[in-house]
């Protein structure tokens, strides 16, 4: 029953996405990184080719990808540029709660427009005072006649400056802790949304990251996902999907770093022979190969669980923790193999190493993944 063979379509999807990554993303990656500017024409083109919003089901105008397919696409796009991929992946992160927790009407209303033109979505969970401790969020969602009023500050919001739609987590009643948390869809043009300055980040610099403040933002009641108080449940289910997806981006980034390192090791001559003939370098490259493949298999397994409709938070966290830490190591070793050139912007591994660091931080830090994993393990003992 175990098969590691991709289907013919999956191979073609991979080919096509890699071609896009290599021809459209890679040549511009450094430029947009330096400018710290959203590459709108590239993102638009990616959308036209069906590379964006892979989570939208066929009923609502999506292509009908499996989770496995979506992972293949993410890995390829991240190979092209982690920052651009983050801008693309953030749409899925914001739309997944609608796919998971939305009603039929909400899915039609909110998802379908994303299949008709390139639109941008932003997921708002983290706050200035609450990152890993997400259950303690302070943003409030209060009933007011036929509407809800949203108030609060959100931090590190990807795509914020361009968002046509926000999916915001707030609390209906802070004393209820998890059970008060509610997810609500807010139109990007709603009155009372204030955007902070674009953050000046270490990596993923072309993606747009900002603080967002909601000042008495009035939202119709039908924009609540599920019921009031179901937000935490929706967020947790979202993470089952989004964590392997982020892990897959780490696999793509690491593969790219490794491919650069392998190529360079074949070209650079030291002590009269190419680097590739030196055992010290061979050990590093071999370890990259082992680690990348191990992480890729965990991503595939987590995706397989989701495609079987048996989401497994523990394996999702395995994949995220393993892939993020693996990526950081691989990127660092790639820079090491390039030596001084690797540390300069002359070669792309410098950027990849900066990009790698964020994967250990967002979508649950590597430490939080281990807390989730340990909790699952001890719950069985």
Partner 1 sequence: MANVLVFAEANGDTVKSVTFEILGKLSGHSVDVAIVGDMGSNAVADLAKFGAANVHNLKGADLDKYSPEGYGNALKEFIGSNYDYVFAGATSLAKDLMPRVAGMFDAGMASEVTNFNFDGDNFAGTRPLFAGKVLAKVELSGPKPHFVTVRPNALGLPENPTAGAGTSNEVAANAGEIKAAIREIIKGASEKLDLTEANIIVSGGRAMKSAENFKVLEELAEVLGATVGASRAAVDSGYAAHSMQVGQTGKTVSPSLYIACGISGAIQHLAGMRTSKVIVAINTDPDAPIFTKADYGIVGDLFTVVPLLKEEFSKIL
Partner 2 sequence: MNIFVCIKQVPDTETKITPNGDGSYIETSSIKWIMNPYDEFAVEQALLTKAANSGSTVTVVRVGGVKDTEALRTALAMGADDAILVESGDNLDSYMTAKALKGAIEKSGNTPDVIYTGKQAIDDDCLQVPQLLAQMLGLPSVSVVVECSEEGGKFTLKREVEGGALEVYDVSSPAVIACNKGLNTPRYASLPGIMKAKRKPLAQHSLSDVGVADSDARVKYSNFQLPPEKPAGKSFDAMDEGNQASVVSEVVKLLREEAKVI
Name the residues annotated as catalytic: 363
Would you give the DSSP letter of residue 14?
A: H
Q: How far is the CB of 272 from partner 2 (least distance, A)?
A: 11
Tell me which of partner 2, partner 1, none is bound by residue 9, counting a contact when its beta carbon lies within the kind-specific cut-off of 5 to 8 angstroms: partner 2
Stretch that binds partner 1, among 70-78, 252-260, 263-271, 353-361 (CB under 8 A): 263-271
Q: How far is the CB of 30 from partner 1 (least distance, A)?
A: 13
Structural tokens at position 333? 């070793």
Structural tokens at position 345? 């912007």
Nearer to partner 2, 11 or 35 (CB): 11
Structural tokens at position 326? 């693996």
Nearer to partner 1, 222 or 259 (CB): 259
Stretch that binds partner 1, among 121-129, 189-197, 207-215, 266-274 (CB under 8 A): 266-274
Tell me which of partner 1, partner 2, none is bound by residue 259, counting a contact when its beta carbon lies within the kind-specific cut-off of 5 to 8 angstroms: none
Helix residue ranges, H only, the chain: 8-20, 26-35, 40-48, 67-80, 82-101, 104-116, 231-267, 279-307, 313-338, 340-343, 349-359, 366-379
Tell me which of partner 2, partner 1, none is bound by residue 269, counting a contact when its beta carbon lies within the kind-specific cut-off of 5 to 8 angstroms: partner 1
Would you give the DSSP letter of residue 364?
A: S
Q: How far is the CB of 21 from partner 1 (least distance, A)?
A: 16
Q: How far is the CB of 277 from partner 1 (least distance, A)?
A: 14
Nearer to partner 2, 22 or 109 (CB): 22
Q: How far, in Å, CA of 230 to CA of 145, rounded?
A: 20
Q: How far, in Å, CA of 178 to CA of 74, rounded?
A: 31
Q: How far is the CB of 338 from partner 1 (least distance, A)?
A: 12
Residues that bind partner 2 (CB under 8 A): 8-9, 11-13, 15-17, 19-20, 48-51, 63-65, 73
Contact flags string 12-51 toward partner 1, x per CB under 8 A? ---------------x------------------------
Q: How far, in Å, CA of 77 to CA of 54, rounded?
A: 12
Tell me which of partner 2, partner 1, none is bound by residue 202, counting a contact when its beta carbon lies within the kind-specific cut-off of 5 to 8 angstroms: none
Q: How far, in Å, CA of 280 to CA of 288, rounded?
A: 13
CB 288 within 8 Å of CB 316: no
Nearer to partner 1, 133 or 267 (CB): 267
Q: Which residue has the tokens 């394996």?
A: 315
CA torsion sign, 371 to 373 to 376 to 378? negative
Rule CB under 8 A: is residue 108 a binding residue for partner 1? no
CB 236 within 8 Å of CB 314: no
Rule CB under 8 A: is residue 268 a binding residue for partner 1? yes
Nearer to partner 1, 31 or 144 (CB): 31
Rule CB under 8 A: is residue 273 a binding residue for partner 1? no
Nearer to partner 2, 49 or 176 (CB): 49
The three-state (H, E, C) secondary structure of 203-269, written as one string = CCCCCCEEEEEEEEEEEEHHHEECCCCCHHHHHHHHHHHHHHHHHHHHHHHHHHHHHHHHHHHHHCE
Tell me which of partner 1, partner 2, none is bound by residue 48, counting a contact when its beta carbon lies within the kind-specific cut-off of 5 to 8 angstroms: partner 2
* Binding-site ranges for partner 1 (CB under 8 A): 27, 267-269
């Amino acid at each position: 029953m175990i098969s590691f063979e991709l289907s013919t379509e999956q191979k073609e999807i991979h080919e096509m996405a890699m071609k896009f990554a290599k021809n459209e993303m890679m040549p511009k990656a450094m430029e947009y990184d330096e400018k710290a500017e959203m590459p709108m024409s590239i993102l638009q083109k990616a959308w036209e080719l069906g590379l964006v919003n892979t989570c939208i089901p066929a009923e609502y105008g999506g292509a009908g990808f499996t989770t496995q397919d979506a992972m293949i696409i993410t890995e390829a796009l991240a190979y092209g540029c982690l920052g651009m991929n983050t801008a693309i992946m953030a749409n899925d992160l914001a739309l997944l709660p609608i796919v998971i927790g939305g009603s039929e009407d909400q899915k039609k209303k909110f998802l379908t427009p994303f299949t008709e033109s390139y639109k941008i979505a932003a997921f708002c969970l983290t706050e200035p005072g609450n990152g890993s401790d997400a259950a303690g969020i302070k943003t409030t969602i209060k009933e007011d006649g036929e509407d809800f009023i949203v108030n609060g500050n959100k931090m590190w919001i990807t795509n914020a400056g361009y968002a046509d739609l926000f999916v915001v987590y707030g609390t209906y009643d802070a004393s209820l802790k998890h059970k008060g948390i509610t997810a609500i869809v807010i139109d990007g043009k709603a009155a009372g949304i204030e955007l902070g300055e674009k953050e000046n980040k270490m990596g993923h610099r072309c993606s747009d990251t900002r603080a967002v403040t909601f000042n008495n933002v009035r939202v119709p009641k039908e924009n609540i996902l599920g019921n009031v108080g179901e937000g935490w449940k929706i967020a947790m289910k979202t993470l089952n999907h989004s964590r392997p997806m982020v892990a897959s981006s780490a696999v793509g980034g690491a593969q790219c770093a490794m491919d650069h390192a392998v190529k360079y090791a074949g070209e650079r001559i030291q002590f009269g022979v190419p680097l590739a003939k030196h055992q010290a370098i061979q050990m590093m490259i071999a370890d990259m190969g082992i680690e990348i493949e191990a992480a890729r298999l965990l991503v595939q397994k987590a995706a397989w669980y989701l495609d079987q409709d048996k989401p497994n938070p523990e394996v999702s966290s395995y994949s995220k923790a393993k892939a993020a830490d693996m990526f950081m190591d691989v990127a660092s070793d790639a820079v090491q193999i390039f030596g001084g050139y690797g540390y300069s912007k002359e070669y792309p591994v410098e950027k990849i190493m900066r990009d790698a660091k964020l994967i250990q931080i967002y979508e649950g830090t590597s430490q939080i993944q281990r807390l989730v994993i340990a909790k699952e393990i001890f719950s069985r003992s």
